[in-house]
Structure 1
Amino acid sequence: MPSAPSKIYADDVSLLVVTLDTNPFFWATFPFPFAEFLSQVLAFLNSILLLGQLNQVIVIATGCNSCAYVYDSSSERNHGATTGTMPALYSNLLHNINEFLARDRQLDALRKTGTVPSSLLSGSLSMALCYIQRAFRLGPMPPQPRILCLQGAADGPEQYVAIMNAIFSAQRSMVPIDSCYIGSNNSAFLQQASYITSGIYYKPPQLEGLYQYLSTVFATDLHSRAFLRLPKSVGVDFRASCFCHKRTIDMGFVCSVCLSIFCEHHDKCSTCGGMTVSRIGVSMPGTAMR
């Protein structure tokens, strides 16, 4: 897998932005407990900080109704602070995640009963890119940025447009999106995100050894990846979601003006008002609909 194009970065300094799936609907039915998952993720984040004293780790909690920054290693509050015998990475992050889950649960009270929501991946990706863009503006030599998505919940087709916009924004900014998917099936959104941005997509076969997979696959910086044999995606699901019903489709109709995708024929595009809507396959290997 080719490494992402590089700008002029500070040598051996990494900025890792992690999106952490905290969707309670997913974890309530998943056989691997969230507490065990979180403990292995915390050990991995701690190892990133130990690799270099200038490395920076940002954690964004991804709920089903909202997203929030829950940890920033560059914050003065997190530098060397401890609670008893617990380092700041553990104490502050656990405290912030608990507060975030409580707020997200309150927002969920407005949701219709019987629906199982997907995680708000589009929101967490947007927040990650905003933080990285702010880091780019702090000086001429920013740390090497990358995004790691730790996702478990299934894709939400209604987020297709927002997620694809975030993916192409990351590609333009030369920010690779790594994906560690722990759900039952593969994530088409994350497969496309890693493929388009030259990141790594990996689905650990055994979650009991999650820390080992994270440390051997995702701990490597962008420069070192050119010298390692990292996992390659066997295949990428390029199917798109229609703009009308938010369903994943293999064949559809595409507006020739704005490239909006529909599962049914429309005489007039509902997005831009264009009059020409052509039938086309939206699952073509090596391509992705923008």
Structure 2
Amino acid sequence: MNAIDGSSHVEVNATGQTPSLLTIVIDTNPRGWAALKDTLPFSKAIANILVFINAHLAFGNDNQVAVLAAHSNKAVWLYPKSPHSDREPNGSTDGDVEMKDVDDDKDRGNANKYPQFSAIESSILSSLQSLIKSTLPSTLPPTTLIAGALSQSLSHIHKTSLSFAPPKASTDPAAPSTAVTLTPSQPTLHARILIVSVSDSEPSQYIPTMNAVFAASHARIPIDTLSLSQHCSPTFLQQAAVITGGVFLSAALNPRGLLTYLMFGLLADAEARNSVTLPTQDSVDFRAACFCHRKVVDTGFVCSICLSIFCEVPQGAECLTCGTKLALGSYGANPAVVPRKKKKRKKALNGVMDRDASGSAAGTPVPG
């Protein structure tokens, strides 16, 4: 049939686009945003992030997004909302589901907006307002719970990837086989994490942060970071970008260009990054935090069993993590200087130096 009209027909199989899940972690530390209020207010930053989210969703119908707030003392879901957000203030539920009128103007949204964009914007803004109202300045720690937000992000990504996984093959030999066999080059979901940071890395969170980073690296989930503050340096997030193959950008010199950094440097997903040149870091701070005092150190003592890091020798030279007796040897002692042995020169026989003593193949001629 292909030769009827004298042309060659080729069957083309339509392949769907692989869904992409973008998980955004927004650092909502009030102290960090207070330092940026003159250059980049928090409201403008959220508006730019919403535009970035809409651009990600517009790339494909199957693309998804999740947004978390890494607050000073907790990690809160902004979108999708956590089921615990429907609890009453005393922490209990009455068992009834709140019914809302579909004709309510508040839930109807703007008719000129795409419904999904409007739903995400409404959820993020309402959750942020609730978070800000529940924040008390008297009990506000200076830290940011990045480690908890990373753990929740990885859990959400794993749960979402299970929904996109192909059905398992049936163990019944009589049943028809409907399972789809995928090769490692055909992922079912492209997932990545983006952290918008305005605070410094907390040394006390070094261990849980690195645990989450190594878990993301094992799952091939890149962690991108956009730092906005010039007074803070997210040291651990720089290491996270290198370990997971992500991107680290610093917008400290021009925080007002937040949307430009997001659109041109962080919009490409894992599949598109194979065809583009990503920004690179000039220098990376690979310092670690000690396990004893939780402070970032340049040099320290490392346990050979559990690889725990200490800024000084623990009491009794015993590892505080696994209890192993640390053998320090002669650490700190001055190196011993061994004197060099002098070679004895042999006496000349009949006016001619010995060949071994002179170092030459033939004897030294003697003047007549």
**TM-score (norm: length of structure 1):** 0.83
1:1-290 counterparts in 2 under 5 A?
A: 11-30=17-36, 31=38, 32-72=40-80, 82-84=108-110, 87-103=118-134, 105-106=135-136, 109-110=138-139, 117-138=142-163, 139-140=165-166, 142-184=188-230, 185-204=232-251, 205-266=253-314, 267-276=317-326
Identity %: 35
Q: 1 or 2 for the larger relative contact order (CA 8 Å, sep ≥6)?
A: 1
Give the Cα separation in 2 of the matches to 1:72 and 1:48.
16
Q: Is contact 1:149-1:180 (8 Å) kept?
A: yes
Q: Deviations over 1:164-207 (max 9, x none)?
A: 00000001111110111112143211110010000111112422
Shift of 1:83: 2.4
Q: Deviations over 1:64-103 (max 9, x none)?
A: 0000111139x9x9xxx75245622222210011112333
Q: Secondary structure at the match of 1:89?
A: helix
Shift of 1:26: 1.3
- Report the AA paired with residue 123 of structure 2: N
Moved more, 220-229 or 160-169: 220-229
Q: Using a 3 Å threshold, how does the CA distance of structure 1 residues 244 and 89 change in structure 2: closer, same or farther?
A: same
Q: Is contact 1:67-1:124 (8 Å) kept?
A: yes
Q: Secondary structure at the match of 2:300?
A: strand
Q: CA RMSD in A?
A: 2.3
Give the Cα separation in 2 of the matches to 1:43 and 1:110.
33
Shift of 1:40: 0.7
Specify the structure having the higher radius of gyration (Cα): 2
Q: Using a 3 Å threshold, how does the CA distance of structure 1 residues 201 and 277 change in structure 2: closer, same or farther?
A: farther
Give the Cα separation in 2 of the matches to 1:65 and 1:161.
17
Give the Cα separation in 1 of the matches to 2:328 and 2:189.
45
- Report the AA paired with residue 117 of structure 1: P
- Report the AA paired with residue 129 of structure 1: L
Q: Is contact 2:27-2:199 (8 Å) kept?
A: yes
Give the Cα separation in 2 of the matches to 1:197 and 1:66.
24
Aligned partner of 2:175 in structure 1 is none
Give the Cα separation in 1 of the matches to 2:218 and 2:53.
27
Q: Is contact 1:61-1:70 (8 Å) kept?
A: yes
Structure 2 stretches of 5 or more lacking a match? 1-15, 84-99, 101-106, 167-186, 332-368
Shift of 1:277: 5.9
- Report the count of equivalent residues: 260
Q: Secondary structure at the match of 1:16?
A: strand
Greater share of strand: 1
